[in-house]
Amino acid sequence: MHNDPSSDPGTPPSYDESGSRAANPPQDSVTKVDRDRDTIRESSRHNLTPAQALLLVRVLTAAAFIVILNETTMTPAIAVLMHEFDVVESSAQWLTTAFMLTMAVAIPLTGWFIDRFGPRVSLLTAMSTFVVGTALATFAPTFGILLGARVIQALGTAVMIPLLMTTLMNVIPESDRGRVMGSVSLAISVAPAMGPFLAGEILKYLGWRWIFGIVLPLAIVVTLVAVKLIPRGGGAARESVDMISVPLSVLGFGGIVWGLSSFGEGAEPPLPTWSLLAIGAIALAALVWRQLTLRRGGHEPLLDVTAFASKDFSVGVGLMTIGFAAFLGIMMILPLLMQVANGDTPENAGRALMPAGLMMGLLGPLVGRIYDNHGARV
């Protein structure tokens, strides 16, 4: 076996139409077909055929779009559900708050879960959990059951987002990741913006139960297709999850999210808002200390907090946190403001957010290409 430097996945060779080896073309001349071939060669290391590799990315993106869509679909329905189940506004808002709170608690554990059981089992677990929650929400006879169904949905969503990112990093060569991640932004960013719009239209013509009823068969179909594409195996022999880190993670992330959500309604004693935030901050500090201690002792931490030693990583995470906080905040607040304060209809509240979804969908692929060609700084 000879040592061919061009066999490195990060700098794949190019081929002419006859299949013969050719010199790598300049970056500007690389076409979409060339990039797709790069993706195919990279994916061959994961026992995927060319068609499976390209289809897998699209199917996982579709699955992520479906589950993330449900983050904001309940916002236009709050006023309707208040009347349907005879609950006050602060209680009805928990349909959204509980979803976000569950994701905040569950996502830190999903990295260990995906590494331990592999992408196939993780996908089955995520989508099956989401389907069960969606089916339960569709036929929920009481508000309590609907709230529980939202929590189950969130558990599936929490696994799906890291799974999508992990799979893309494994099958997409580095030279194409910006372009592909730009397309994936359709699922991560556009879905929450589209949620209120779609929910508003469904509420107008069909009723709130169809918000879940329409999603249910789509989730089942995407799950069946994705399971056929993802190869078996892939789990790693990781250590058991650290049982000290788990409660610290739950208290830390859960306390912060619950505390922030309480600003809008005022938490009742004995857990006022600042107490929740303080508990969350202390637990997060203890969690970081625990992860560093495990790392120094040669054990596998629940979260690799040493990544924040990188300035680029820390700045990137900080900017994304600020951006998504503002983005999701508008997605949640604007429909409520229009309906409760201004007396507008659910469909108009959803339509008001439609331009944001369209712009993010248009800009995502463009920004990805800029990243591939000019780097992260530009």
The mean pLDDT value of the chain amounts to 76
Determine the 3-state secondary structure of 22 from DSSP.
strand
Alpha helices in the chain (DSSP H): 32-43, 50-69, 78-85, 89-92, 94-138, 143-171, 177-185, 191-205, 209-213, 215-229, 245-262, 273-296, 311-336, 346-352, 354-374
pTM over 0.85: no
Give the dihedral sign, CA 96/100/103/105: negative
pLDDT for residue 30: 45
Contact 352, 346 (CB under 8 A): no
Where is pLDDT greater, at 91 or 44? 91
Give the Cα separation of 335 and 352 in Å (integer): 8
Please report which confidence band the pLDDT of residue 148 belongs to, taking 50, 70 and 90 as the band edges: very high
DSSP 302-360: SS-GGGGGSHHHHHHHHHHHHHHHHHHHHHHHHHHIIIIIT---HHHHHHHTHHHHHHH
Average pLDDT over residues 14-43: 47
pLDDT in tens, 293-346: 988 888 888 888 888 888 888 888 888 888 777 877 777 777 777 777 777 777
Instruction: Enter the tokens of residue 126.
Output: 């995520």
pLDDT at 83 (0 to 100): 85
In this prediction, residue 150 carries a pLDDT of 94
Q: Interhelix angle for 143-171 vs 177-185, to 10°? A: 160
Rg value, the chain, Cα: 22
Residue that is written with structure tokens 């969350």 in the block: 280
Fold of 48-238+346-374: Growth Hormone; Chain: A; (1.20.1250)
**Where residue 18 falls among pLDDT bands split at 50, 70, 90?**
very low
pLDDT in tens, 236-289: 556 677 788 888 988 888 888 888 777 665 445 456 778 888 888 999 999 999
- Higher-pLDDT residue of 72 and 128 is 128
Cα 153 to Cα 146: distance, rounded to the nearest angstrom: 10
CA distances from 378 to 177, 181, 192, 308 (A): 16, 16, 26, 22
- Reference 160, options 74, 62, 236, 229; nearest CA is 62
